Amino acid sequence: MLRYIVKRIVQMIPILFMISIISFIIIQLPPGSYLNTLIAQMRATGDEVDMEMIEALRIRYSLDKPMHIQYFNWMKGIITRGDFGFSFEWNRPVSHLIWERLGLSVAVSVSAMLFSWIIAFPIAIYSAVRKHTLGDYFFTFVGFLGLSTPNFMLALILMFISSKYFGFTVGGLFSPEYMMAPWSWARFVDMLTHIWIPMIVVGTAGTAGLIRVLRNNLLDELGKPYVVAARSKGISTVRLVFKYPVRLALIPFISTVGWQLPNMVSGEAVTATVLSLPTAGPLMLAALRSQDMYLAGSFLLLLALLTMIGTLISDLLLVLVDPRIRYE
């Protein structure tokens, strides 16, 4: 097993290189660079544009060099020093910026994921076992409602409810007094009073889809002969359903669970923007828009890496739940 994992990790390296090249090219595809954005911004605010300063910046960030040189410099920094480059817009190292926000992103995403699992699993199982009953139709209706409600809309509604009826500050993950404070128990509690909105918003989007998929997987399994054979042993319905068909219905689900990993970084971008959460999603969106290329490139690289790690985790989990799958 260890050999298999090592092999898979070694295989990731060339893929990551290829992805880094492609993402670097894609970021550079739109005409101009961050400096053009900067010039435009300065003009818009009526500042005088100092062309000498712009030129100095161009040289400082090696923007005057050809693209492949820029790429090699960036890669050299990452491999030799773990330096992912500098963010033009924030004037800070990329790695600091990402790390700072990643924790909160993970907090929001994990809580949303758990929320959606806790809601979706029991409903899916109920809907499949009691298929075509009133309860099943009710949950199907609610599920589709959740699936078709735009996230930003739900975010706005919950924000309204939260501020009007509960008196919490609108948006963000912290009350103003804790915004810049160091971590403490009080700050954590404060976060909990805020995190439920993004948790519900991000969670409901996935819940409906999850219910449909699990319900259908389970319906497939419930009709199989091994279920009848297990029933013929005299096991109670609840025990039977959880031991046999649910276990098998989870296999397709587990094969994709690893893809939640990249979602943790970029999945809540729209919601986070609406709710002005200090998470990674909006940062990435802004970086792409302003052509803050090292920041955007690092994000894309991180997403690629997380996708690959997620797939590996899924594959390893699959081996645990399905004995028919073996390492080569």
Provide the binding-site residues for another protein, judged by CB under 8 A.
224-226, 228-237, 243-244, 247-248, 251, 321-324
Nearer to another protein, 1 or 51 (CB): 1
The kind and range of the H/E element at 141 are helix 134-148
- State the nearest-atom distance from the C-beta of 126 to another protein, in Å: 15
Give the nearer residue to another protein in terms of CB position, either 135 or 209. 135
Q: How far is the CB of 222 from another protein (least distance, A)?
A: 10
Q: How many Cβ atoms from other residues are within 10 Å of residue 286's Cβ?
A: 16
**What is the three-class DSSP state of 173?**
coil
- In this structure, the chain runs to a length of 328
Label the pairing between strands 86-87 and 92-93: antiparallel
Nearer Cβ to another protein (14/223):
223
Closer residue to another protein in complex, CB, 46/223: 223
**H-type helices in the chain, by residue range?**
2-28, 34-44, 51-60, 67-76, 94-129, 134-148, 151-165, 185-222, 225-231, 237-243, 245-257, 260-266, 269-275, 280-289, 293-321
Pairwise CA distance, residues 267 & 15, whole Å = 23
Q: Which is nearer to another protein, 3 or 324 (CB)?
A: 324
